[in-house]
A = this chain, B = another copy of it.
């Protein structure tokens, strides 16, 4: 019955995968730990060994989605391109492509897009929001570098540019996640990003938001 360390890691991952599937199909609050356990071919004992409760699994799924994103961005930021905006554009395309090629990541995103952080999940609302802000700050680095290189108007607030990019990506993903017939990420992500960056690169801080 006792498994080796690698086997134990596999069951942990199996539990996470099963939880993701259950949450996606039945929603977080309508899946019991027994549902997850059975779906992973283990018992609740295994689940409680690897996680402290259902909310903990939820948080682990969020970390599993967020961590590689941060890693990719941090790694990309290590090289200082002469054209940070173009570098960022390429990064966005890369990220969207990776999403399109990864159905489980799609499911995870959908889960966090629509979930209502209440009850057991309330404790993670601020934490996950902070993680989002953390990644936004990383994106902002590109615009700051661009401003240092005199590539964009010095009066433009880098944070506004970052928010623009973020809202756009959110809108694209929202449409994609809810009406996947409308948008094909692998096919359209490049043109969508190109279209947006067209505006960002031309930005001279003249446009007013409401």
Residues of A within 8 A of B (CB): 25-27, 29-30, 114-116, 118-120, 171, 182-183, 188, 191-192, 210
Contacts and interface: CB of A to CB of B under 8 A. Distances in A.
17 contacts: A26-B118, A26-B119, A27-B118, A27-B119, A29-B30, A29-B119, A30-B119, A30-B120, A114-B114, A114-B116, A115-B116, A116-B116, A171-B171, A183-B210, A188-B210, A191-B210, A192-B210
Number of this chain's copies in the assembly equals 2
Contacts of A191: 210
Given A25-B118, A182-B210, A192-B210, 5 more contacts: A26-B118, A26-B119, A29-B30, A183-B210, A191-B210
For A30, A182, A183, the residue with the greatest tally of chain B CB atoms inside 10 Å of its CB is A30
A179 to B, nearest CB: 10
Contacts of A29: 27, 29-30, 118-119
A29 B191 CA distance: 40
Nearest to A117: B27
